[in-house]
Amino acid sequence: MSPSDNLSLQITNHKLNSRNFLQWSQSVLLVIRGRGKMGYLTGQTKRPKDGEPDRATWELDNSIVMAWLIHSMEPQLSQNFLFLKTAKAIWDAVTATYSDLGNCYQVFELKTKLRETRRGTLEVTEYFTLINNLWQELDMFYEADWGDPEIVREILEIR
C-alpha cells in the first residue's frame, strides 16, 4: 500500500444508491484497478495464512479497499455490508443485490430519456455528449454477440 492509496476514503463522486449500480461499479472499478487492488475484489489476492510475513500487509490493504467500497455508498445501503470480512465479500454481495443487467425499468428509463432529449439551448458538442452517454449506458444492459469480429471493428470505428 503506497501512502497515496490512503489519502482519501472517498474514491468516486458516484455514491451507490438503489438505482445507479452500473455507473457506481464502473467508477469504483476504474479507481481500484488504477490503484492495483483488483485482486481484492476478484479474490485473486489471497489472504496469507496466520504467521506468514505478508498477512499484516494483506489485512491492511483489504481493510482499505473495504473502506473505499463502504464510503462510496449511501449510508443506508452501506450498513448492510459493513460487517462483511473481505472486500471480495462486500463486492460480491453488492453485485448480487444491485446488479441486474436485465433491469427493464432502467432500460425503459434510458430509452425514454433518449427519446425525449432535445438539443434546445445546448451546444452541439454538449448535446452529442449527453446522447452518447445515454447510449453507452444503455449498451451496458445488452450483451451483444456479433459473431463476426470485422463487423464489431467497423461499428467501433463509427462510434
Instruction: Give residue 21's pLDDT band: very low, low, confident or very high (50, 70, 90).
Output: confident
Total residue count of the chain as it appears in this document: 159
Report helix, strand or coil for 73. strand
Q: Which residues, including other chains, have CB under 8 Å from residue 117's CB and lie 6 or more apart?
A: 127, 130, 131, 134
pLDDT in tens, 110-148: 889 999 999 999 999 999 999 998 888 787 776 666 667
Does pTM top 0.95 for this prediction? no
